Structure 1
């Protein structure tokens, strides 16, 4: 390589004359392959070592892009070489140039073996440094991304855990817990609990009293199972209570039923008596308890399977059930009034038989209330629907108006007509009665699908058969007429719960029925 030695005049320094015969190393581009290393001798001069940062070249002389090499040269210089136009040049290089080239002058034998140093170019970044910087940048990016993902995962898991954790039961807003006189004393009997509920707002017991009762109950035996969970007979201070234990996945049904039971002024002799609701954690899972009155006769379905009834017993069962439905459907106006409620799952299994032969309506998990101010139905989104066998035609063909509360009441009346048919079949007159069967037992399978019921009820327009013997007995004839008027395909033509109750009440007062 031909070095531009013209610039050397700017880097030589003025040195004092050396002794005679100063010996120095001499070579051009000493670190290039094939360079010749020699010595030189100069009188009254100095030894010089030079380093120049230059572009690296291939063997053919072509420049290698992006690569540099420090080229080293050693020389002998006389005193005269250190002057330019009679002015001495000093062996100093400006700081801003020392990253390109540098010079060292000395005056002892072979002293130019020592090289001057080149400074690092502040504006130049080597390829290796660039790669390291890029690598560090990627590492930082990946670490940051992983940190964000971990934080997001923790937040999501915490949210899911919170959602799965059962919410503590909250009493209705009208519940006055602080001023409740029972808060300072423990109730000693169920009668005392009922007396207090009836003397207050009629919306149930205070939350803390409910929890106290729930923790004092001993479970005795299981008396039933359903899709929601299990029903147990429990014991509280020597008295029997029913404990409905919901599956943890049925929390919404538990909360909804407890909420409906605590509606203001809902308590009625023909509505199952509500005692308490509580969630109990046994360390492994959470149990959702709903505590109500206990009746050893169990449901109307079980009762009719076991025994027949007299004409008076038939009308009593029907009338008391109608009273419960009428109370649900009725709106009570006032500052602490009761909204109208539709049951939405009326059937013989959801009606209980009391010890005196009357009935009360239970299982309000699917019930809906009517807000008269907004004219809205507070129906909740749920996968549960009513029992298919008891569904009204408008429910089966999906023509029911969900925004119109009267539609739900009329669907209840249709289902109640089927319950009347079940009761009437077990009425024994002159020792004649029918065996117990579910409605449409001879038309659909034991576990009918919606399509089965739609075909029979909506397409074929069939209804349960009325035995001929019913026309010969006044009580059964009235019952047959009532149930037919509950079954109309046109929902608006069906009887109201109040009309059914009054008709059955009048039938119960007749002297003839008592002699049957």
Structure 2
């Protein structure tokens, strides 16, 4: 073997040993310069380094070695800054080759303070910009609301002017509420008073006490010329319900014993805000929901209440032809809270804010402009699973029938038989939470196909047993299998006749 070949083998062996030392973290000999060196000019470690570090005298060149993976990872991965730059290497005496100039070239060109100032400015921009935008949006919203409010009142004033020709309102003080309501039946279309008279009446009402609150707003007992009236004050978010109810009462002749008597509707400006009023007859017994919580009823009373609700529903669902006719109307939010109890313990249906109308002549279906779809607890299966035929009027009537079956169940719970009666509970009280979600109701009614619980005592009472059969025929999963309002009315009449015969015998 020649001398040249020997040198080549020796060089390869040294490289292999060096690579092996690197791979196995063998101690490297490094150049050491600085206060931390234990030996003059040399140190041993896993990595060699050279750095420029700023102190009181300026940038100082330091060389040495690092021990331990954590220290190596922490220092060797440090990003160069204006205070320090570190360069690591892993060969014997490799840091001896690093010059001060090569380290200075790694220093950032911009001073440290500028990025800091830039970050503060950026942070201020991100904080202040949304605040400025919110302030501007608030100002625009206030201006838009004022303009809208002004526009509404202006439209009402224009409407007053249009409607006012030929109207004599000076005799308002001489009439009673009954006189005015009788007049409304012969003064053309609609159940309400002429529009300008409605506004005059509204301004003569004094509010006495708040008798109910809900998501819709508030109901007050008011007084007009010594007579009690009910004033429903809608919240601004329920404006579409107010508008729909006003529209129906003013265009449809709805005078009926079992439909709440409408008097007037008005949009007024009070305390710099728009108030939406609906003025109707006042019934001191309140809603059927409130009444059933306070009072348990005898069988004949419960039957009469159920029959009066059915009578009102028949009137709504039936189209009447002729000059004083009316379209067919589906309520869409029938429940005990929307049914009032008269002093004769009969019921009348209220709250037409979600009503749908239909006329056969032009096959026109008017669903109004209200996105609400009713009360979840009383929703029919086809509403909950969204299979309802929204272009078919009969589908909306069948939704009312489902809800009527639940109202009938609520009345039956509070009806005595053999001296026994249940406490008031809403439908599905034992199957869903107090304020059930759409999904809660869909699971119970559509998926599990459950119905309200029927107590055993009902089956031992002939009248309640007949009511159970009737309510079950309102609760068919298939909407087209449910009874009509007219069939319900006739069935209740038969049950009442059977009860009377039983008393006579």
- State the alpha-carbon separation in 1 of the partners of residues 142 and 415 from structure 2: 59
CA deviations 1:293-352 (Å, max 9, x no partner) are: 111110001100001000100100000000111101010011342000010000010000
1:293 and 2:289 equivalent? no
Residue correspondence of structure 1 range 30-179 to structure 2 within 5 A: 161-165=146-150, 166=152, 168=155
RMSD, aligned CA: 2.7
How many residues are treated as equivalent by the alignment?
362
Question: Structure 1 residues 415, 177: CA separation in 2 closer, same or farther (over 3 Å shift)?
Answer: farther
Aligned with 1:262: secondary structure?
helix
Contact (CA 8 Å) 2:233, 2:278: kept in 1 or not? Answer: yes
- State the alpha-carbon separation in 1 of the partners of residues 182 and 188 from structure 2: 11
Aligned with 1:259: secondary structure?
helix
Unaligned 5+ segments in structure 1 are: 1-153
Residue correspondence of structure 1 range 379-398 to structure 2 within 5 A: 379-398=367-386
1:329 and 2:329 equivalent? no
Query: What residue number does 1:195 align with?
Result: 182
- State the alpha-carbon separation in 2 of the partners of residues 291 and 447 from structure 1: 29
Query: What residue number does 1:477 align with?
Result: 465
Query: What residue number does 1:459 align with?
Result: 447
User: Could you tell me how far 1:197 is from its partner in structure 2?
Assistant: 2.0
Higher mean alpha-carbon deviation, 178-187 vs 346-355, is at 178-187
Question: Structure 1 residues 178, 480: CA separation in 2 closer, same or farther (over 3 Å shift)?
Answer: farther
Q: 2:430 aligns with which of 429, 435, 442?
A: 442
CA deviations 1:413-441 (Å, max 9, x no partner) are: 00000000000011112211111111111
User: Could you tell me how far 1:407 is from its partner in structure 2?
Assistant: 0.3
User: Could you tell me how far 1:504 is from its partner in structure 2?
Assistant: 1.2
Query: What residue number does 2:25 align with?
Result: none
Q: Which structure features the higher share of helix residues?
A: 2
Question: Structure 1 residues 489, 169: CA separation in 2 closer, same or farther (over 3 Å shift)?
Answer: farther
Contact (CA 8 Å) 1:183, 1:209: kept in 2 or not? Answer: no
User: Could you tell me how far 1:380 is from its partner in structure 2?
Assistant: 2.9
Contact (CA 8 Å) 2:149, 2:274: kept in 1 or not? Answer: no
Contact (CA 8 Å) 1:439, 1:464: kept in 2 or not? Answer: yes
CA deviations 1:224-278 (Å, max 9, x no partner) are: 1111211101011111111011123332221111111223321111000001111
- State the alpha-carbon separation in 2 of the partners of residues 373 and 446 from structure 1: 44
- State the alpha-carbon separation in 2 of the partners of residues 453 and 369 from structure 1: 27
User: What TM-score comes out, normalization by structure 2 length?
Assistant: 0.67
User: Could you tell me how far 1:400 is from its partner in structure 2?
Assistant: 0.4
Contact (CA 8 Å) 2:379, 2:399: kept in 1 or not? Answer: yes
User: What TM-score comes out, normalization by structure 1 length?
Assistant: 0.66
- State the alpha-carbon separation in 2 of the partners of residues 171 and 470 from structure 1: 59
Unaligned 5+ segments in structure 2 are: 1-138
Question: Structure 1 residues 501, 199: CA separation in 2 closer, same or farther (over 3 Å shift)?
Answer: same
User: Could you tell me how far 1:385 is from its partner in structure 2?
Assistant: 2.1
Residue correspondence of structure 1 range 16-27 to structure 2 within 5 A: none
User: Could you tell me how far 1:515 is from its partner in structure 2?
Assistant: 6.9
1:345 and 2:346 equivalent? no
Aligned with 2:291: secondary structure?
helix
Q: 2:363 aligns with which of 375, 393, 407?
A: 375
Query: What residue number does 2:296 align with?
Result: 308
User: Could you tell me how far 1:180 is from its partner in structure 2?
Assistant: 6.0
Contact (CA 8 Å) 2:317, 2:329: kept in 1 or not? Answer: yes
1:254 and 2:242 equivalent? yes
Structure of larger gyration radius: 1
